[in-house]
A and B are shown apart, each in its own frame.
Chain A
Amino acid sequence: MVIRSLWILFAVLLAGLTCSAHAEASVEADGRGRPITLWHAYRGAEQQALQNTLSAWKLRQVETLAVPYDAYAAKLAAAIKLGQGPDLFIDAHERLGNYRSRKLVAPVGDALSDPDAFLPQAMAAIRHGGQAYGVPLSQKCVALFFNPTWVKAPPLYLEGLNAALRQPLPTGSFLLAYENGNAYAHAALLHGFGGRFLDDHDGFAFLGPPAESSLIFARDLVTRGEVPENADGALVTTLFRSGKAAFAISGPWLAADLSAAKIPYGISVLPRLKATGQPLRPFLTIEAVMLTPRGAARSEVRALARYLGGRDAAKRRQKLARVDSARRDVVPDEKDHVLRAFRQQAAQAVVMPSSLAMQAVWEPARRALRQVLSARSDAGPALRQAQRRFADVRRPPPAPRSPTPWLLALGGLMLLASWRLYRRARDAEFREAVRRSMPAYAYVIHAVIAIGVLVVLPLLAGALIALYAGQPGEMYFVGAAHFLSLVTARGGDLLGSGSFYVVLFVTVLWTALNLVCHLAIGLSLGVLLARPVLRGRALYRVLLIIPWAVPSYVTALAWKGMFHRQFGAVTGLIHQLNRVFGTEMEPIAWFSRFSTALTANVATNVWLGFPFIMVVTMAALTAVPREVLDAATVDGATRWQRLRRVTLPMIRPTMLPAVLLGAIWTFNMFNVVFLVSGGEPDGQTDILVSEAYRWAFTRGAQYGYAAAYAVLIFFLLAGSTFFAARWRDRASSREAALAGGVS
């Protein structure tokens, strides 16, 4: 009966998959000529505005795809290279440098017929080497929001925010909320002090008195309690929405949120700094339509891009999505204070550099910022460290090497292998063994093919990248250069921060802590839930797998929120304890010390992972025959003895694979580290695999170096499992010998 229901399930699934395949085919068939494909990462009102403008364009059918922002760049890169990508896509201009170097975009040609119709900053953003690489749509930057309940009128100077209040703020409220731990938001302050992140030749310029003053200013805002610490975008929004922040520095997204909730707010350009007399100048982002090389060759695609950048479409967009247009001739309505403020702000903003060097600035700058904000370091040393980090990331890739020695070695190895194979094949005993193995091969062949093609092949190809350097698309062979620089800690201090060995130690610690906690909690709960008499067993089981069932992205962020020093539930608990016991415990700044930050990460990951071990334990326990346990009871064994001596040894073989694989997965579990501590403080809680991801995705796409990390991780894990297995074999054979001697 089980079998029959399985077959029915299979048939249903097959039907589900094929009916969808059918639908795909029918889309291809109708429509005159190939439709134009457009990808974007818009949502909400902006997405609707885009659909609206597209529906007014009748020339050719346009297929849109809304991709999650987190997967956008990766999907674009993978698809465009294979000719599977869109004809055109919408993205922020600051990624043009990256896209250009990877040849994912082409000059727009006649899609931009009237450059003078666009604002000068917009044209500057999409131009490179005399060519335009996009048709500007809208411009986005942050501005000053104020709550009219608290604020009479926006002040002229940032130092005068307090004086602009109608009355003193109640305790628990903040004068100003902005994402102070974020280098993007800090840019406004930095520019106000006359500093900048990059000089004209892509050199690191986040240094010297202006940069230091900006950091000290930001820190003082926090120490005076005027600005909340560690605020992310969501916190800024909720603080301002709930009236707990008189001012906020945020972008059009906050305006959209407030308007949707019908919350009154005022908006103006960012104030000046009394210290320098200069205005705060935020970074400006130009959103543009970009053409892929395939799309740029089609005249109807260029026509669509021209239409999207044109006056009518811009007006529609401005009306529906309420974002400021990048066109001169589409001026915000006289009465629309929000858009007028944003246009004014954009005129005195700094166009974000789109060069590859800018990508390498964010992480060092963010770390320096956070070090100073949490008072772990002074501004000067923090900035000098950031400069060293920038230089390290930007240092030229290793020189090309000839692959000949590697090819010779590979050839030699293959000769050796084939010779051995030949020798064994001539061995009659071996041939007999292979012949006897044939029935077994029939059982495994499909698994071998499936895993070989879809798992091993991509992994091997990924691993091979470790021998190459350079930007994707123009990689060249460098041999073992990446590995050398990894094991020598990039020429720096072997035990310095971020060195391979230090990160390895943290990774091992992280894995061990997780493994112990997972096993302790998972095993005990599994054993408890397997009790034959337990009221509400099914309910307990379902409730206890909840951490596994809810998507981990959102629960990991819920954990991070619980550890916030000012607003987290843990701080709520501390306040509660203080109230009840009259103690005076201070809230803990979880992410400013290594030990507490690691604790937060481990707590989250233990929570995410214990249900897995619990379920595996429950399954393993079903194989323990009751007769054995009953016999042990008859022999007078206590409950604990039965567990220790009978149950655990009996489930050990069944548990072992899950525990081993669980340990390996934990070793490579980067998303908890990314989402909870984000490596804080100062990258100390990063593990090997999160370092690898940083090299691949935030440090200028150094895939070769990231792959070298992956290969090293592989060898470390493979080596340790191998030795653990040998050690276990030896231990068990010694045990067996001992037992033999006794008998």
Chain B
Amino acid sequence: MRASRGRVSLGESVLVHASLLLAVGFAIYPVLWVVSLAISGDTTPEPRLLPLPEAPTLDHFREVMTSGAGGQGSGLFWKQLFNSLVVSAATAFVGVAIAIPAAYALARFEFVGKRAGLGALVATQMFPAVCSAVPLYILLDGLGLLNSRTGLVLCYATTAVPFAIFQLRAAFESIPIELEEAAMVDGATRAQAFVRVVLPVVRPAIAVTCLFAFISAYNEFILAATLLGREEAFTLPVVLQRYVGEHDANWPAFAAGAVLVSVPVMVLFYALQKHLVAGLTAGAVKG
């Protein structure tokens, strides 16, 4: 069995790597322009194919990291980075925590209102939020959650929940029910079977939903700028957006900030991606 999978011809391997490299080129080429802008001390507009920086400098990065009302060394940037990370991680955690039981029920139980609930869940995604910002603001004010990161986390998390529920429900449905039944025959309660047997198997789906919730919260700025009331509470995208004014924008600083901001996401993905392999442990369903 191992042999049949291990045999990969050289030609095929070359082809796979060639297509992946092509895709990587497509993926990073525009970002290289952003990076080039971020480290260029000077830019000359001319049609160029290669995003090579001119007069390379780290000034823009320094500018972004020491930004804030206090000026040099106020540490505001790090505080805001911390805000971003805490808010996004909390969003992922809360969102997935809300979604897991609901998705499990939707996958495993029959109940009155299930179809309507599923329909309503998709429906929430169909409404463009053109006019709901002000109602949301009034609502959060009424709940006393305005100007707090907790309120922001709740908003983000609830927006991430519908996708998380669908993704997790599909994952729960894809695992055979025998798995839980076997555990319960062995003396586990339903909850124990769920935590010990089912959750580890849907790890890939949890990883994806976490990543999704994290990234959408991490890059959002309109809601964050509207709902947060103090600079120390701002998340990084809000701060970056400040480089764009009415008439002009500090694009090099914005680009440097964007590059900095994306590093934690890539680190997070690197950490998560090992959960994206082999969900079903070999032989788990052989019984």
Contact = CB atoms under 8 A, between A and B. Distances in A.
B182 interface: no
B242 A451 contact: no
Nearest to B285: A625
Interface in B1-39: 1, 4-6, 8, 16-17, 19-20, 23-24, 26-28, 30-31, 33-34, 37
Interface stretch (A120-128, A213-221, A564-572): A564-572
B213 interface: no
Interface string A396-440: 000000000000000000000000000000000010011011011
Interface residues of B, number: 148
B287 interface: no
Contacts of B58: none
A633 B225 CA distance: 55
Interface stretch (A144-152, A190-198, A485-493, A547-555): A547-555
A446 B98 contact: yes
B278 to A, nearest CB: 6
A222 interface: no
A75 interface: yes
Contacts of A81: 134
A739 interface: no
A550 B262 contact: yes
- Report the contact-size class of chain A (Cβ under 8 Å from the partner): 35 or more
Nearest to A83: B141
B20 A440 contact: no
A571 B45 CA distance: 12
Interface stretch (A265-273, A340-348, A373-381, A534-542): A534-542
A165 to B, nearest CB: 20
B47 to A, nearest CB: 4
Contacts of B129: 458-459, 462, 710
B185 interface: no
Nearest to A606: B26
B124 A459 contact: yes
B189 interface: no
B248 A68 contact: no
B270 A664 contact: no
Contacts, number: 432
A616 B125 CA distance: 18
Contact of A706 (B48, B131, B270): B131
Contacts of B150: 17, 21
Say what secondary structure dominates the interface of chain B.
helix
Which of B113, B146, B248 has the most C-beta atoms of chain A within 10 angstroms of its own C-beta? B248
B200 interface: yes
A625 B265 CA distance: 30
B75 interface: no
Contacts of A261: 42
Contacts of B244: 68-70
A657 B167 contact: yes
B133 A434 contact: no
Nearest to B156: A454
A182 to B, nearest CB: 10
A658 interface: yes
A254 interface: yes
B128 interface: yes
Given A541-B273, A689-B128, A552 B44 contact: no
Contacts of B177: none
Nearest to B24: A543
A742 interface: no
Contacts of A732: none
B6 A533 contact: yes
B273 A542 contact: yes
Interface string A655-671: 11110110011001010
B188 interface: no
A448 B137 CA distance: 20
A563 to B, nearest CB: 11
B24 A540 contact: yes
Given A234-B251, A443-B105, A555 B30 contact: yes
Contact of A572 (B49, B90, B109, B173): B49
A91 to B, nearest CB: 10
B64 interface: no
Contacts of B247: 140, 233, 251, 253
B33 A48 contact: no
A575 B48 CA distance: 9
SS of A interface (majority): helix
Given A550-B258, A616-B208, A710-B127, A78 B159 contact: no
A659 to B, nearest CB: 10
A116 B152 CA distance: 46
Given A43-B242, A533-B5, A619-B208, A714 B43 contact: no
Given A82-B138, A453-B139, A69 B122 contact: no
Contacts of A587: 47
Interface stretch (A107-115, A236-244, A350-358): A236-244
B78 to A, nearest CB: 13
A66 B112 CA distance: 50
A615 B276 contact: yes
B124 A569 contact: no
A551 B265 CA distance: 10
A714 B122 CA distance: 11
Contacts of B89: 9, 13
Given A251-B247, A658-B167, A540 B109 contact: no
A593 B257 CA distance: 34
A71 B33 contact: no
A615 B265 CA distance: 14
B280 to A, nearest CB: 6
A430 to B, nearest CB: 7
A654 B126 contact: no
A576 interface: yes
A696 B132 CA distance: 12
Interface string A620-638: 1011011100100100000
Contacts of B179: none
B246 A92 contact: yes
A625 B135 CA distance: 47
B200 to A, nearest CB: 7
Contacts of B77: none
B88 to A, nearest CB: 10
Contacts of A303: none
Nearest to B245: A69
A44 interface: yes
Given A17-B153, A233-B249, A657-B167, A242 B42 contact: yes
A569 B33 contact: yes
Nearest to B16: A528
A575 B121 contact: no
B33 A558 contact: yes
Nearest to A573: B49
Give the interface centre of B16, B20, B48, B128 by most chain A CB atoms within 10 Å: B128
Contact of B266 (A254, A534, A542, A612): A542
Residue with the greatest number of chain B CB neighbours at <10 A, chosen from A51, A574, A626: A626
A474 interface: no
A465 B130 CA distance: 11
B240 interface: yes
Given A440-B111, A714-B123, A450 B98 contact: yes
Contacts of A254: 248
Contacts of B16: 528, 531, 534
Nearest to B194: A443
Interface in B202-257: 204-205, 207-208, 211-212, 215, 219, 221-222, 225-226, 229-233, 237-238, 240-251, 254-255
Sort A-B residue pairs by CB-CB distance and give the 8 closest, nearest first.
A657-B166, A437-B111, A462-B132, A443-B105, A461-B135, A71-B225, A462-B131, A68-B241
12 contacts: A20-B86, A63-B230, A541-B269, A541-B273, A542-B266, A544-B23, A546-B27, A552-B219, A569-B49, A576-B49, A622-B277, A657-B167
Given A41-B242, A551-B262, A573-B49, 19 more contacts: A63-B230, A66-B231, A68-B221, A68-B225, A244-B46, A437-B109, A441-B111, A454-B139, A456-B120, A458-B133, A533-B6, A538-B274, A550-B34, A554-B255, A569-B51, A587-B47, A622-B279, A661-B163, A721-B122
